[in-house]
Chains A and B, each alone.
Chain A
Amino acid sequence: DIRMTQSPASLSASLGETVNIECLASEDIYSDLAWYQQKPGKSPQLLIYNANSLQNGVPSRFSGSGSGTQYSLKINSLQSEDVATYFCQQYNNYPPTFGAGTKLELK
């Protein structure tokens, strides 16, 4: 299985700040990567697919980038509603695998 390593595991940031979350794959996943946001007590919501494509309805302050084994999710101008845990997921190889998550809190 492809291992997805997310960093940091937790993050504290201020309103209006820019936040970066990293995801490292154990092998090349050719941009077959999605990012999800999970708010406490809720199901995950798709933010980004194909490493950098923004899902319909997701605010433009979210963006994804990367290639090969290294990917990142960027949140510009952090809002209070962005407090959540963020997961990456590779779908290049079976089985699809997720990162352990990055918990984002407000400072």
Chain B
Amino acid sequence: EVKLVESGGGLVQPGRSLKLSCAASGFSFNDYWMGWVRQAPGKGLEWIGEINQDSSTINYTPSLKDKFTISRDNAQNTLYLQMSKLGSEDTAIYYCARQLPYYFDYWGQGVMVTVSS
């Protein structure tokens, strides 16, 4: 069974950084592109970015390129999202998802990030 489990969310002050993790199981992690998508409270979905199997290609939505960094550790079957200079507009549920490679066939349960003083 494919499972994606995000962690690392919580309350963070404006301007601070936070790193999310996504633990993958039930499939060959190093065979797939992986991505991050977020959803602000009561809002729609926003694609953050993606990373290919060997981390040689990483793409971001332009507005987040200078704030967010995606990485992966294939030995640990884990995907990461490093977020910096966080603002209230970054308050959202963050999902990791398996990509095929441009749409998402499995999603994690999501992790909430709240940016507030």
Contact = CB atoms under 8 A, between A and B. Distances in A.
Binding between chains A and B? yes
A62 B64 CA distance: 34
B62 interface: yes
Nearest to A46: B105
Contact of B104 (A42, A44, A100, A101): A44
A100 B110 CA distance: 19
A89 B44 contact: no
Nearest to B46: A98
Contact of A95 (B47, B106, B110): B47
B44 A43 contact: no
A43 B102 contact: no
Given A43-B107, A49-B103, A89-B103, A94 B44 contact: no
A58 B15 CA distance: 42
A71 interface: no
A101 B44 contact: yes
For the residues of A in contact with B, the DSSP-based class is loop
Contacts of A18: none
Interface string A83-107: 0000101010011111111000000
A20 interface: no
Contacts of B110: 43
B95 interface: yes
30 contacts: A32-B102, A34-B103, A36-B45, A36-B104, A42-B109, A43-B107, A43-B109, A43-B110, A44-B45, A46-B103, A46-B104, A49-B100, A49-B105, A55-B105, A87-B44, A89-B45, A89-B104, A91-B102, A91-B103, A94-B59, A95-B47, A95-B59, A95-B61, A96-B47, A96-B103, A97-B47, A98-B47, A99-B44, A100-B44, A101-B44
Interface of A: 32, 34, 36, 42-46, 49, 55, 87, 89, 91, 94-101
Interface of B: 44-47, 59-62, 95, 100, 102-110
Given A87-B45, A96-B47, 4 more contacts: A43-B108, A44-B107, A49-B103, A97-B47
